[in-house]
């Protein structure tokens, strides 16, 4: 598996993957998403995981906001370390003592079981309960001195 920064030629395959998983992301508007994706790629804040010629995972993050903004793995490639590899790649863009956040589903929400388990296994700590896009969520935080 190759994990690397995304480039503009990845966009069609990236969007194909997002189309497959979009129902897991409340508030996702595909047309706006693609515009944001282009900006993130040009700013080196987009990561892909590829197995051969197949794009199997994607991740958007913000260096300025210190946030993991979007993470998706193709259903056929889940539980193969794809998400972990992309998050570790993202970590290399941050400085020691940065506090990186991610918002995911709340405990008890079946949609978020795998995501919460992943973030906790990497050292993210559960934080504030929030609501985004009229959906109950929870913020997790990772302090960069804890790099695993």
DSSP class of 75 = G
Distance CA 10, CA 24 (A): 21
- Evaluate if residue 147 carries a pLDDT over 60: no
What span, in angstroms and rounded, lies between the C-alpha atoms of 14 and 138? 26
Helix, strand, coil percent content, the chain, rounded in steps of 5: 40, 35, 25
pLDDT category, 146, cuts 50, 70, 90? low
User: Tens digits of per-residue pLDDT, 44-95?
Assistant: 999 999 999 999 999 999 999 999 999 999 999 998 999 999 999 999 999 9
Tell me the two tokens of residue 106.
Answer: 């709340």
d(C-alpha 74, C-alpha 16), whole Å: 10
Q: What is the phi/psi pair of residue 42, to 5°?
A: -65, -25
């Amino acid at each position: 598996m190759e994990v690397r920064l995304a480039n503009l030629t990845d966009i069609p395959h990236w969007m194909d993957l997002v189309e497959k998983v979009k129902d897991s992301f409340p508030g996702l508007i595909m047309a706006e998403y693609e515009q944001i994706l282009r900006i993130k790629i040009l700013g080196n804040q987009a990561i892909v995981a590829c197995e051969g010629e197949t794009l199997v995972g994607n991740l958007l993050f913000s260096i300025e906001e210190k946030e993991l903004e979007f993470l998706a793995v193709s259903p056929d490639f889940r539980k193969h370390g794809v998400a972990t590899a992309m998050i570790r790649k993202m970590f290399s863009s941050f400085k020691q003592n940065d506090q990186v956040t991610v918002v995911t589903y709340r405990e008890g929400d079946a949609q978020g079981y795998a995501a919460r388990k992943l973030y906790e296994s990497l050292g993210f700590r559960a934080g504030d309960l929030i609501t985004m896009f009229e959906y109950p969520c929870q913020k997790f935080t990772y302090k960069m001195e804890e790099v695993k």
